[in-house]
Amino acid sequence: MRNRGLKLGAMLLLASASLCGQNKVTLRPSIDTVTISKHIYGHFAEHLGRCIYDGFYVGEANDSIAHTEGIRNDVVQALKKLQIPNLRWPGGCFADTYHWKDGIGPKAERPAIVNSWWGGVTEDNSFGTHDFLNMCELLETEPYLAGNVGSGEVQELADWVQYVNFNGESPMSDLRVKNGRKEAWTVRYWGVGNEAWGCGGNMTADYYADIYKKYATFMSAWGNKEGLYRIASGANSADYNWTETLMKKIPHSLMKGVALHHYAVIDWNAKGPSTKFSEEQYFKTMKSGWFMNELIDKHSAIMDKYDPEGRIDLIVDEWGGWYEVEPGTNPGFLYQQNTMRDAMLAGMTLNIFNNHAKRVKMANLAQAVNVLQSVILTRGNQIILTPTYHVMEMYKVHQDARQIPLDISTDSFTFAGDSIPALSASASKDEMGKIHVSLVNIDPTNNKKISIGLGGIKASNVEGRILKSQNLRDYNTFEKPETIVPALYKEAKLRDGTIEVDIPAFSVIVLELT
Ligand code: AHR
Per-residue pLDDT tens digits for 133-167: 999 999 999 999 999 999 999 999 999 999 999 99
User: What does the pLDDT read at residue 17?
Assistant: 36
Mean pLDDT, rounded, for 236-252 = 98
DSSP type of residue 96: G
Is residue 471 scored above 50 in pLDDT? Answer: yes
Is residue 1 scored above 50 in pLDDT? Answer: no
Residue 318 among the catalytic residues:
yes
The whole-angstrom separation of Cα 457 and Cα 475 is 37
Neighbouring CB atoms inside 10 A of 111's CB total 11
Mean pLDDT, rounded, for 396-412 = 97
Record the pTM.
0.95
Ligand 1 center to 356 CA (angstroms): 23
Q: Whose CA is nearest to atom 6 of ligand 1?
A: 92
Residue 352 belongs to what H/E stretch?
helix 340-355
Beta carbon of 366 within 6 Å of any ligand 1 atom:
yes
Sign of dihedral through CA atoms 163, 370, 364, 270?
Answer: negative
Beta carbon of 95 within 6 Å of any ligand 1 atom:
no
Ligand 1 center to 92 CA (angstroms): 5
User: What does the pLDDT read at residue 32?
Assistant: 82
Q: In this structure, are residues 92 and 317 in contact, taking their beta carbons and an 8 Å threshold?
A: no
User: What does the pLDDT read at residue 14?
Assistant: 36
Residue 195 among the catalytic residues:
yes
Beta carbon of 173 within 6 Å of any ligand 1 atom:
no
Q: In this structure, are residues 283 and 343 in contact, taking their beta carbons and an 8 Å threshold?
A: no
Cβ neighbours for 258, distance < 8 A, ≥ 6 positions apart? 231, 232, 234, 243, 246, 247, 299, 303, 312, 313, 314, 315
Beta carbon of 46 within 6 Å of any ligand 1 atom:
yes
Is residue 338 scored above 50 in pLDDT? Answer: yes
The whole-angstrom separation of Cα 468 and Cα 340 is 8
Quickly state the pLDDT bin for 393 (edges 50, 70, 90).
Answer: very high
The whole-angstrom separation of Cα 103 and Cα 57 is 14
Mean pLDDT, rounded, for 197-210 = 98
Beta carbon of 142 within 6 Å of any ligand 1 atom:
no
Query: Of residues 222 and 295, which shows the higher confidence score?
Result: 295
Is residue 280 scored above 70 in pLDDT? Answer: yes
The whole-angstrom separation of Cα 207 and Cα 192 is 14
User: Among 210-224, 284-298, 347-361, which is the least confidently predicted range?
Assistant: 210-224
Is residue 20 scored above 50 in pLDDT? Answer: no
Is residue 417 scored above 60 in pLDDT? Answer: yes
User: What does the pLDDT read at residue 173?
Assistant: 97
Is residue 5 scored above 60 in pLDDT? Answer: no
Q: Which atom of ligand 1 is nearest to the CA of 118?
A: 6
Q: Which of 51, 116, 261, 364 best tests ligand 1's pocket when mutated (most atoms within 8 Å of CB)? A: 261
Per-residue pLDDT tens digits for 23-65: 999 999 988 889 999 999 999 999 999 999 999 999 999 999 9
